[in-house]
Structure 1
């Protein structure tokens, strides 16, 4: 097995799990109607190597909301099973973008059922519920912003302005299935909704703990930690400056401007090159 194949296999095992090929083949190969066409922007974004950076940025940005982070800290098990959580998330994003309508509906229904059982009170005494449409909308807009920003900076084929608007509108389809009310349908609406959350955003002990875990305690072999830190560096470089101190992150403007973009381009290019060694997924009529 050559280096490229070893790297692609290791990446797929981490992101998709030991049965990643089977899951991928089921998602792509099952005949049936899809939510999105083959050339849809959501497929370009969610199928690109830039998602490795976008996913990290989304997790950090989402943790800025104290009630959303309280729910994650108490119920997600991200410390005990971080790779399992990543694999479940990547499978959900894949099935809703590439899978059949039946499979996408089943996936969103399963998530809603899980959310229905998650509620509690934060350390500051604020009640939260994972099914709260307001918190769901924060999670959604933070995620969409992070994914789209990463794609536009590090994606193989960045979208034009109309494609960016269409990506936001297509992502809203999944959001509504999850219980989000009035998700944004364009980039201006996305920015406006993000700005609307600013008064609610502040750091918390749980958010700073999650950031430390992502940055300093990744459950990775030693050889993988340096490139992982490069992905984290690129992800932090995408975050708003206002969230750095609340999340316990260093504010390094020069690093963000000159180093993080180069590191992000090199690493996403390497990931893209490695994953291209995998056989293509089946087509529904294969």
Structure 2
């Protein structure tokens, strides 16, 4: 792996400040990834997951791809869109979701379990009926399995496609690392390998459908201020990069047209951004802060 990258001080400081403020904006609850000293996370520091989740570019791309797959399933779509503030306050929702993902992977185990218990309690209160008359509950294990599988797939595919290729053994290890954590969320049948993930995607394919919600989500992700000002022009390209990693034929199934497809000349640009982000050492990031909590070097994940 290449050595860690740092930028000229003013640029580095600006990116550090944005990254810290994005996960914990002013007025929102804060989380200290450096404490308590020595407490391990639910996922070990030498895991594949710790390396993947440190990359903000592929996390953004993978997160968009994951939500597209989630919203393609009608019960999940109604559970997310009808019972959250994503439509009215998308940035706040994205910030909370991002912090929850970081706490799950990097946070001390006790705090992670407490946060997951809170999420589960919230899911237990969400239920309803789809526009097609199908009842759903947000804590239904099969739906939770789907949400876990789409998130795992999205983050992995974004990382492998744009940042660094991983072999089959590393991909399988990544999925297996997530199984115990997924079970805490109630996803008791989450895929434990790449083969299991792909099999679940094939089984779910007949249940996926296009909807206006998908395009509302894409428009929100293209236009909301999710990146620093200097990177804002690239945001639409990163959204298209997410569409590009959907499983074969899914974009067509969901009627996502050519205006949302990644241009051939954009792919090298996305790879340059993702590979640079994979080397960029952000001292304010949960990844680096958690390494310090465990007594590891700040560049542990970059060497």
Give the secondary-structure state (helix, strand or coil) at the position aligned to 2:136: strand
**Is the alpha carbon distance of 1:208 and 1:274 closer, same or farther for their aligned partners in structure 2, counting shifts above 3 Å?**
same
1:58-207 aligned within 5 A: 58-155=66-163, 157-207=164-214
Q: CA deviation at 1:219?
A: 4.3
Q: CA deviation at 1:18?
A: 3.5
Task: Give the distance between the partners of 1:22 and 1:104, measured in 2 at CA.
Answer: 14
**Is the alpha carbon distance of 1:72 and 1:154 closer, same or farther for their aligned partners in structure 2, counting shifts above 3 Å?**
same
Deviations 1:220-277 (A, max 9, x none): 6876542111211211111135332454422479x64733431321332454566637
Query: Which deviates more, 105-114 or 89-98?
Result: 89-98
Partner in structure 2 of residue 234 of structure 1: 241
Task: Give the distance between the partners of 2:198 and 2:248, measured in 1 at CA.
Answer: 16
**Is the alpha carbon distance of 1:161 and 1:243 closer, same or farther for their aligned partners in structure 2, counting shifts above 3 Å?**
closer
Deviations 1:169-208 (A, max 9, x none): 1112221111112211111111111111111111123233
Is 1:12 aligned to residue 20 of structure 2? yes
Counterpart contact for 2:61–2:238, Cα < 8 Å: yes
Q: CA deviation at 1:106?
A: 0.8
Q: CA deviation at 1:149?
A: 0.4
Counterpart contact for 2:142–2:189, Cα < 8 Å: no
Q: Which protein has the bigger helix share?
A: 1
Deviations 1:87-116 (A, max 9, x none): 221222212211222112111111100100
Query: Which deviates more, 270-279 or 193-202?
Result: 270-279
**Is the alpha carbon distance of 1:21 and 1:11 closer, same or farther for their aligned partners in structure 2, counting shifts above 3 Å?**
farther
* Alpha-carbon RMSD: 2.8
Give the secondary-structure state (helix, strand or coil) at the position aligned to 1:120: strand
Task: Give the distance between the partners of 1:75 and 1:55, measured in 2 at CA.
Answer: 19
Task: Give the distance between the partners of 1:15 and 1:266, measured in 2 at CA.
Answer: 24
Q: CA deviation at 1:127?
A: 1.4
Partner in structure 1 of residue 4 of structure 2: none
Counterpart contact for 2:33–2:293, Cα < 8 Å: no
Q: CA deviation at 1:33?
A: 3.5
Partner in structure 2 of residue 53 of structure 1: 61
Query: Which deviates more, 121-130 or 261-270?
Result: 261-270
Task: Give the distance between the partners of 2:279 and 2:175, measured in 1 at CA.
Answer: 27
Query: Which deviates more, 236-245 or 194-203?
Result: 236-245
Stretches of structure 2 that go unaligned for 5 or more consecutive residues are 1-8, 296-303
Is 1:281 aligned to residue 289 of structure 2? yes
TM-score, normalised relative to structure 2: 0.82
**Is the alpha carbon distance of 1:268 and 1:113 closer, same or farther for their aligned partners in structure 2, counting shifts above 3 Å?**
same
**Is the alpha carbon distance of 1:238 and 1:20 closer, same or farther for their aligned partners in structure 2, counting shifts above 3 Å?**
farther
